[in-house]
Structure 1
């Protein structure tokens, strides 16, 4: 695996930490900037919206540049807005930095995935995808807990400084190891890539990805109140349980990169993972009151969720070979649509009086919808490409 692929994973680690770390910093931000907790929570929503909207827009912009220049520009902007966020005393400015940071993150994700896949042989593409996506799982394992500890000890600004500092070595390494290019990679252009993405089977794969990620983040977002109020685990053990979910995620991403890349029928692996997740979220809901069972479910579900998600990303690129940049952009958007939809639905279930097990049942329902999408995908065929008389 080229060293540059691992450097891309390091940059994604810093960006994933930034995306998820605010869950442990909201109280400090609200107190320091004299805003309410819900207002501080909008910083997370602003980032998610920026990712969804920005993914195709920034990918279209980045496709006009050489990939090295695009990656360095997006990562440079990402560092700059975190420095600005760490220095500002204005809530409005901080909100703006979250939106701009999300746009830069979305653009980097799309170009990074296309760059990583372009560096390896076709048989190694699933593994390269797992290395890049593995940066997010490492953020869940180490980055988010570390950000929470920094915020507890030195204030929320320390976490923003840490994200910027971790990103600097990635920026310098990418500047050194990525090949220089004087023009954008040859390809069909943005319009051509968008036409390639209109295939029904690809759209269904993206929808399936949104359901899988929605289920994952629905459960993950409410894991703390579940394990403290239903399972009976002490609050001091919550960081360890969150880290355990991240460990399972890292295992799942790693296995998906190795198994899916060499599988003769990767779609069967994806369907099997989806079915296992549907059953697993239901089992977790039923056994959440048992500490041993709950801890086991956290590990297994983290592994299945990110393993299946990584396999789906690989299938998106497989189904859209003519749209390497925009495929990454739409995969990023689908990921974040699920990341926004799942917690919202889980919150509605809790607010409806169904208790803290309810998000797990919502996750199971979302996985049933993912399975139904997989069934539809099986009987869907893409239209044959038109062939001109001259080409014939």
Structure 2
């Protein structure tokens, strides 16, 4: 894989750490800013809503810009938002910074995903996606637990300062390592298909179905992940430091899952979706039933991280394949699919908490969302993930 992909993954690591770190900080933020745990959990939804809106909007705005320029602008805006978030005394301002940071994150990821598909062979989109998402999974392995530990030791604001500092080497790597596409000499802009023709790709039933399934699976993942801290500390009765271990286990599992799926999603997408989806659903049911048992809970957190990212990344790869006719907007379709789920999942989970479903309410929401995706996918598997043609002999 080209070096440029790994430089993009570094920036995705910083942004992924920010997106996921709230899973370990929700109780502390709620107490610090005098809001409910459910309200604090909606900061994850705020981030996801910003990404849903920002992915197509900023991708359309920046589609003619040089890639390096667009990526650097997004990283710098992202850093400033975290500085403001670190110093604000009010929940409303923190909420707003999460939305703006998400807009920048969405623009970055949309451009990065489109760029990734242009620097690899046409049949290696899944592997390119796996490299980019490795930044996210390493964030859950190292960045998010480190953020939780930093928040425990120095307060949640310290984690926001740390994210801002992480953006510095990411910006340097982009400036030095990401090549710009050739521009029009008179306008200084990138040539390519019209926006209308790229948006017309959204009329493809296969693309819409892949986006919907990816959103459902991701919603299920975020519904439980966002409220993992109270499950660990209340349901399983473990101390706060165990939240960091649970996040590490989830991150290690997700790294393994996305790495394995990076190979399988190009050649065996149907098998990954069908078999992985069934195991994912059974795992969520088992977690809901066995969450009070610490050993079982921690083991399932690991396996569910692997399965959720394997199935989810395979579906996102299908979005990229089906949007091949939209070279600059295809990345935004994948980003929107991811973050519709990331917005809806925590919101539904928060509602489950509000109706006295207990700490395990989010897990049962996850079961329902994942089950719905599987019921939709299995009858239409050939349409979603057709077997690639055999190479010519």
TM bucket normalised to smaller: 0.7 to 0.9
How far the C-alpha of 1:92 sits from its partner, in A, is 5.0
| TM-score normalised by structure 1 residue count | 0.88
Counterparts of 1:5 and 1:103, CA distance in 2: 21
1:151 partner SS: helix
Residues 251, 64 of structure 1: alpha-carbon distance in 2 compared, 3 angstrom cutoff: same
Contact in 2 for aligned 1:204/1:377 (Cα 8 Å): no
Q: Deviations over 1:110-158 (max 9, x none)?
A: 0001111211122432111011112111221221222222233333332
Contact in 1 for aligned 2:257/2:306 (Cα 8 Å): yes
Residues 191, 299 of structure 1: alpha-carbon distance in 2 compared, 3 angstrom cutoff: same
Residues 226, 9 of structure 1: alpha-carbon distance in 2 compared, 3 angstrom cutoff: same
Residues 74, 251 of structure 1: alpha-carbon distance in 2 compared, 3 angstrom cutoff: same
Q: Deviations over 1:142-190 (max 9, x none)?
A: 2122222223333333222211211111111111112234345443222
1:188 to 180, 190, 193: 193
Counterparts of 2:168 and 2:374, CA distance in 1: 41
Residues 146, 126 of structure 1: alpha-carbon distance in 2 compared, 3 angstrom cutoff: same
Residues 300, 322 of structure 1: alpha-carbon distance in 2 compared, 3 angstrom cutoff: same
Counterparts of 2:357 and 2:79, CA distance in 1: 42
Structure 2 equivalent of residue 169 of structure 1: 169
1:238 partner SS: helix
Structure 1 equivalent of residue 244 of structure 2: 239
How far the C-alpha of 1:378 sits from its partner, in A, is 4.0
Matches within 5 A, 1:68-147: 68-89=68-89, 92-147=92-147
Contact in 1 for aligned 2:14/2:167 (Cα 8 Å): yes
Residues 151, 231 of structure 1: alpha-carbon distance in 2 compared, 3 angstrom cutoff: closer
Residues 354, 81 of structure 1: alpha-carbon distance in 2 compared, 3 angstrom cutoff: closer
Residues 7, 356 of structure 1: alpha-carbon distance in 2 compared, 3 angstrom cutoff: same
How far the C-alpha of 1:246 sits from its partner, in A, is 1.0
Higher mean alpha-carbon deviation, 65-74 vs 182-191, is at 182-191
Counterparts of 1:41 and 1:136, CA distance in 2: 20
Q: Deviations over 1:71-99 (max 9, x none)?
A: 11111221222233334556554443322
Q: Deviations over 1:214-269 (max 9, x none)?
A: 111122223233233333434332210121011101110111112223x2x42232
Structure 2 equivalent of residue 323 of structure 1: 326
Contact in 1 for aligned 2:232/2:242 (Cα 8 Å): no
Structure 2 equivalent of residue 309 of structure 1: 312
Structure 2 equivalent of residue 385 of structure 1: none
State whether structure 2 residue 291 is matched by structure 1 residue 292.
no
Counterparts of 1:4 and 1:327, CA distance in 2: 19
2:336 to 325, 333, 338: 333
Gaps of 5+ in 1: 382-392
Contact in 2 for aligned 1:75/1:171 (Cα 8 Å): yes
Contact in 1 for aligned 2:149/2:244 (Cα 8 Å): no
Structure 2 equivalent of residue 389 of structure 1: none
Number of equivalent positions: 378
How far the C-alpha of 1:313 sits from its partner, in A, is 1.2
Structure 2 equivalent of residue 224 of structure 1: 229
Contact in 2 for aligned 1:196/1:323 (Cα 8 Å): yes
How far the C-alpha of 1:336 sits from its partner, in A, is 1.5
Higher mean alpha-carbon deviation, 54-63 vs 36-45, is at 36-45
Higher mean alpha-carbon deviation, 299-308 vs 233-242, is at 233-242
Matches within 5 A, 1:262-273: 263=267, 265-273=268-276
| TM-score normalised by structure 2 residue count | 0.88
Q: Deviations over 1:41-83 (max 9, x none)?
A: 5544332221111111011112121222211111122122223
- What is the RMSD computed on CA atoms of the aligned residues? 2.4
1:348 to 334, 348, 351: 351
Q: Deviations over 1:304-349 (max 9, x none)?
A: 0001111111111111111133222122122122122222323333
